Amino acid sequence: MRDAERRHRDERLTSQVPDDFPWDPTPALLSGTQPKLAGRWIDGRLIVGLTAEERWVRWDMCEDLAQQLIRKTLEDAAKYPQHSRDVTLNGMRRAIERKGWTERVETDWLMARLRTLLGW
């Protein structure tokens, strides 16, 4: 892909993802005392973190999951009216973490998004 086409595609994808969505959900752990930068060579470029396309895919998955969880969260809140909203959301978070669908920083974003969607 030519550089201009790639930049245009990356800008289009990046503009669709909220600024607060994480760029690097799984930072590398590299041993040693010297500072290190973990990156990958993709199409002749060193990429640290996610590419614009990878980030868009991760965000799209998290946004879709947040939308799906609205109904389930409201059902749980109605089923257990004695629980506060925070208790209900913490239960949702634990369920998501058990599934292993998202990284920790993505789960943080997803829960904030769910809270916003619910108006809680």
Tell me the chain's radius of gyration from C-alpha atoms: 18
| Tens digits of pLDDT across the chain (120 residues) | 577 677 767 777 778 999 999 887 666 666 777 776 677 777 777 776 778 888 999 999 999 999 999 999 999 999 999 999 999 999 999 999 999 999 999 999 999 999 999 999
Compute the distance between CA of residue 111 and CA of residue 93 in angstroms, rounded to an integer. 7
Length reported for the chain: 120
* pLDDT in the model for residue 81: 96
Compute the distance between CA of residue 8 and CA of residue 6 in angstroms, rounded to an integer. 5
**Phi and psi of 47, rounded to 5°?**
-115, 125
If we measure between CA atoms, which residue out of 21, 4, 120 comes closest to residue 63? 21
Report the predicted TM-score, pTM, of the whole model to 2 decimal places.
0.77
